[in-house]
Amino acid sequence: MHTISRPRPDDAGAIHELVAASDTAVIGASDSTLEDIADDLVEPGFDLDRDAWLAHDPVGRLDGWAWVIRNGESDLVDVEVIVRPGVSGLEERLWEAVLARAAEHRTEGGLDAVTLHISVYRSDEVKQDRMRGRGFEPGTSYHRMRIDHDGPVEPPVAPPGLTMHSGLDEQVRREGHRVYQEGFAEHFGFVPTPYELWHERREAMSTTDWSQLALARIGGRPAGVVIGNDAFLSDEGCGYVATLAVLPEFRGRGLGRFLLRHAFAADAAAGRKGTILHVDSNNTTPALGLYESAGMRRVMAIDVWRRRL
C-alpha cells in the first residue's frame, strides 16, 4: 500500500528520478532536469500543501507524483498524474485527489465549471487512451521545434526605424511583458498575468537570464519581443525561445522573422548548439510556417487534452 504525502522543495531529486523514469519509458530519455523540478516546487502561487501529492511504496521509493495548478483567476486548471512504469493500483488514487482539488478550485473561485488541461506526448498512446477514458478530449498540439547551429549565424539587418533593447533594463521588461500579453491574447489557453506576478515567476526560475529578453521598438514604439532562457542549456546545449510576440498592428512586416533570426544569432554567438522553441499548431498567427521556413524542424509533438469539470 502506498503512502500519500505532500511534497517539499527538498523532494526535487526523488521527483526528478520518477519523472525521468516515466519519460524514458515513453520517449527514450528524460525530458526535464533537476533544476526544472526544483523551480516548479518553488513557483509562486503553487501551494504544496493543497495542490500536490507524493506516493511512496512501503520501502520509501517514490512511485507517484501529481499536481493541480489553477491559472490565475481563470477557469483553466493544469493537472498532471505520473506513476512509475509497472506500478499498478496507484493512478486511480491520485486522480481522485486531483479531481477533488480541481472541484475545490471551482468552488473557491465561484465558478460554474473549470477546464482541466493535461499535456501528453504524442507518442504516449497508452496515456492518450487513458485520458480519453477519463473524459478528456484533444484541445491543441504543441510542436517542439529545433534548429542546429554549426557555426556563427549572421545577425539579421534591422529595418529602418527599428531599435533593439535589452531586458536588463526594467522599463524594457515592462514593455516586453505588455507586448507578450497583447500578442498572445487570442492564443489557446492564454490567461492574462499582471507584470508583478509574471516578473516574480521569472525571478524564481533558475533558467532566467534577463539579457535574453530583446524588445524591438519601431519609431520608438514597442512592437515585438523575443524572450529566451536557459531551459535547454544543461541537457541539450541549446538556447530556448520561450516567447516570441509581435503586436497585431506591426505584423506582416517581417518582424517575427527578424526577432527569430536575432535569437539564432545570439545563441550561436554564445556557443550554443542550436535553438529550441514550442509552437501551438493552432496558433492564430502563421507561426509554425515561419519557424519551418527559417530552417527549424519538429522534434516532438505534445498534445493538450482537456475536460470540463
- pLDDT computed for residue 189 by the predictor: 86
Question: Which pTM value belongs to this model?
Answer: 0.94
The closest of 63, 43, 66, 46 to 55, measured between CA atoms, is: 63
- At 77-105, the pLDDT tens digits run 999 999 999 999 999 999 999 999 999 99
- pLDDT computed for residue 186 by the predictor: 86
Residues of the chain with pLDDT under 50: none
Residues in Cβ contact with 13 at an 8 Å cutoff, skipping those fewer than 6 apart: 34
Q: Please answer whether residues 296 and 145 qualify as being in contact, where contact means their C-beta atoms are separated by less than 8 angstroms.
A: yes
Residue 15 sits at φ, ψ, to 5 deg, of: -65, -40
**Domain 3-113 annotated CATH 3.40.50.10320:** no
- pLDDT computed for residue 286 by the predictor: 74
- pLDDT computed for residue 285 by the predictor: 67
Q: How far is CA 101 from CA 4, 107, 232, 280, 299, in A?
A: 15, 10, 32, 28, 34
Q: Same topology for domains 3-113 and 145-302, yes or no?
A: yes
- At 182-195, the pLDDT tens digits run 999 988 889 999 99
Distance, in Å, from the CA atom of 24 to the CA atom of 58, rounded to the nearest integer, reads 24
Q: How far is CA 253 from CA 159, 226, 228, 287, in A?
A: 9, 16, 22, 14
Q: Where are the domains of the chain?
A: 3-113, 145-302
- pLDDT computed for residue 188 by the predictor: 85
Q: Please answer whether residues 19 and 65 qualify as being in contact, where contact means their C-beta atoms are separated by less than 8 angstroms.
A: yes
Architecture category of domain 145-302 in CATH: 3-Layer(aba) Sandwich (3.40)
Order across the sheet with 213-218: list the strands. 3-5, 52-56, 62-70, 76-83, 115-121, 297-308, 137-148, 274-280, 239-246, 221-229, 213-218, 162-166
- pLDDT computed for residue 29 by the predictor: 96
Burial class (CB in 10 A: 0-12, 13-18, 19+), 46: middle
